[in-house]
Every structure is written in structure tokens, then in C-alpha cells.
Chain A
Amino acid sequence: MTGELLWKQLSDEGLVSGEMPAKAESASPWPVRAMLGVAGWLAALFLLGFAGTAFAILFKSAEAALPVGAICCIAAFGIFRGVPASDFVGQFGFAISLAGQTLLMVGLTKFAGDRELSATFLAMAAVEALLAFAIPNYVHRVFTTLAANVFLLMALEKVGFAPLAPLIAAVGVAAVWRNDRMMAERPSIWEPIGYGFAIALLQVDGTLLFGDLLWTHARPAAHFLLWAGPLAVGLVFVFVVWQLRDRAGVAANSAGGIFALAAAMVIAVSGLFAPGIVAAVLVIVLGFANGKRVLLGLGLLAFAFYLAHFYYQLNSTLLMKSLVLSATGVCLLGLRWLMGRVMPAEAAAEAAHA
């Protein structure tokens, strides 16, 4: 179906009226955005190197770093608002903003001195969240949402609440990608923020980007949190599956509804021992539901990365890990087999509405 045909159909349904609006310029494809993101970071490092070499005081005192960092972020805001469509200027704004954020972090760390850094990280999480909404650039929004989640994790680690960080990311992923209305109101804001939350979840719960690096300095959490955190993420996953089932028009007490819930619960339980599995499958399912192949691919990549990392994690023995993976796998294969027996493909539609 073409855009013109769709417009006509929506017009016939009374959802739109008048002429179809002129086609806006297509956004950059995601590989180009990824390239811009990496190059932006590289440029920001050199700009920071320049600032640090030419004005060494910037990295030595909070009084210098904080205002210059803030000015850089405000300048980036102005650049993106002023010239939103230019690739060159946008890339310059991105690098300036990243340099500004780094200077803010340096300044806040200097300001904290020998004190506990949890407040510093919390402040940085708030700054990143503010920038994610304020600066109208796709790559910038993805990055700042990810950064806000990472800073939040670091803040929670300092006070022994680290297991709650994946829950915040999971709620963010579910809230953004499950809500058509919210996405439709401001897709230019919510889509990149949704990707940022997804990458954050796949990192903090699934070791996608930095492995276990972020967890190495965590203060030991209370024992109940070690279970409550993954359990809550599992419940978010079950809730998402429940809602998607509802949206697909599958009755809760139908065979399809029961299978969906059973599969979701098996995966949620596996998350108590191997949290990266739930995170990856949540992103895969939401990617499929939204027709976002990049999101789906991200989940698949994270699934593979997590299994490789899981092998080396030292929190349990290989025997225990083997039991968790095998039991989960056997349950999922069993459900698939049962599904084929109880609900042959041609009868699936009727069964779902039974």
C-alpha cells in the first residue's frame, strides 16, 4: 500500500480530510544515525582534549567546569533549535553537547569532593533526562536517555538499590513502546527515547554495551532486592504480554491466551536467575508488536551477547546456569509443541476467540 492509497482509505473512514500533506524529508536511516553517534563521540573527545589542553583549569575546578559545561549544553540547544535540518550543524551541536555533559560531570564530581557520589550521579541523571526532552535531535535523545539510565544505575549502586535500575528501564521501555497514543502525539520525542530506554535495559539487565563493567562498584544490595528487582522486571514483561494479547483480540481464557501467559511466566521466572533473557525477549516482543525491526534486531543481538556474558558471570556455578537455561529452553520447546497439538494453525483464529 502506498502513502497516497492509505491517505485515501483514511479519508474514506473519516479519519483525515483534505489533500494529503506534502511528503516530509525522510529521516536518516538508523545505520547513518549510529555512524553519526559514534563520530559525534569521537569529535567530542577531541573538542574536550582541546578545551583541556588550552584551558586546563576546566578540568581542575568546579567553578570553571560547571558554567562552561552548562554554556555548551545551552549552545547545543540553540544550535539544534536554530538549524534543525543541517547534518553539519547538527553534528557540531551533538559534539558540543557531549563535551558540555562531560564538563558538567567533571564539575559536579569536583564539587562533591570526598563526599558520596550518589547525589552527583542523580543530578547527572536529571540533567540527561532534561536534555533528552529539550534538545530536538534523534541521536542526541537516544544517547541522553541511555545516559540518564546509566547515571541512575550508578546513583542507585552507591546506596545499595542497584537491582531497581533495570525495573526503571523496563517500565520506560514498556510505557513508551506499548502506548500508541503517546507515541502518536510526539513520535519525534518518544521514539528515540524508547530506543534509549531499550538500549539501557539491555545494558543494565543484559550486559549489551559494557558487559558487567557498570556493576563492579555496586554496594551490596539487601537480599530481598536481589529477588525483588528481577521479579518486578518479570512482572512488567508478563503485564506487557497480557496487554498485547488483549490488543491482538485474544481472549484471556482461550487456548491462545493461556499459552501466551504460560510462555511469559516461564520467561519471567528464568529472569530471576538470568535477567538478561527477560530484558532481551521484552525488547524482541515490543519490536515485533510495533513493526520496528531495528528494535527486534537489538533484542536478538542482546540475547546472544547475554548468553556469552552469562557464561563468565561469577554469581552462580556453571551447573546452576546450565539447569536454568536447559529448564527454560525445555519449557519453551514444550509449550511450542503443545501449541501445535492443541491449536493447529488453521484453528488458531477460532480458538483465540473461544
Chain B
Amino acid sequence: MAKPGAFLPESSTLETSALWKDGLLEHEIWQIGLPVGEGRGKPPLARADFEAGTVSEAKLRLESDPTPHNPRHVNICGWPTVKDEQKSLALLLCKRSTLVLRETAE
């Protein structure tokens, strides 16, 4: 199971960064994630997959935010500002997601 904190938004933007992965092959998904991990000094070890409908269920919304490296980049927006409400929604996303480990996926 993914950690709930992985879904919490950045405090400055109240957005959670995500990737639209439909139509991508496994190795293509990890390739997009590699620079993100390298920027933090650690390669990505796992990811959490969830349906777009889960975002609606949480009363949040997806906003497209393409970057030169990642045209499939999206932000999860509409987070409440109160921390316990954020955590409650993060638990919902966590519950609905599937943890995919890199070593088992590749």
C-alpha cells in the first residue's frame, strides 16, 4: 500500500503532481518518472496507480499541466486548506490506488 502522505498536495500550490498514463507501456511510465526521481537524488522505486474517477470521488479535479519533458503531466487540484481534510482525501486516494514496485514491474 502507498503511504497517504504521497498524495498530499504541495503546501505552496495546493496541487499534487501526477501523470496521465493511459496508453503508455510500463517502461515508458518509468522513463517519465526517472528525471523526477533523479532531481531528488533518488530513482523512483514505486508508483501509485489510480483511476481518474477517484479524483472526482474525492471532490478534487484534474488539471492538465504539460511540461516539455512530460506532456502528460497533470495536477490534482481543489484541495481543502485544512490539514485533517487533506489527510482524509489522501486516505481515499491511497485506498483506491494500487502500489506498483519498479523492480516487479520491469
Q: Is chain B a partner of chain A in the same complex? A: no
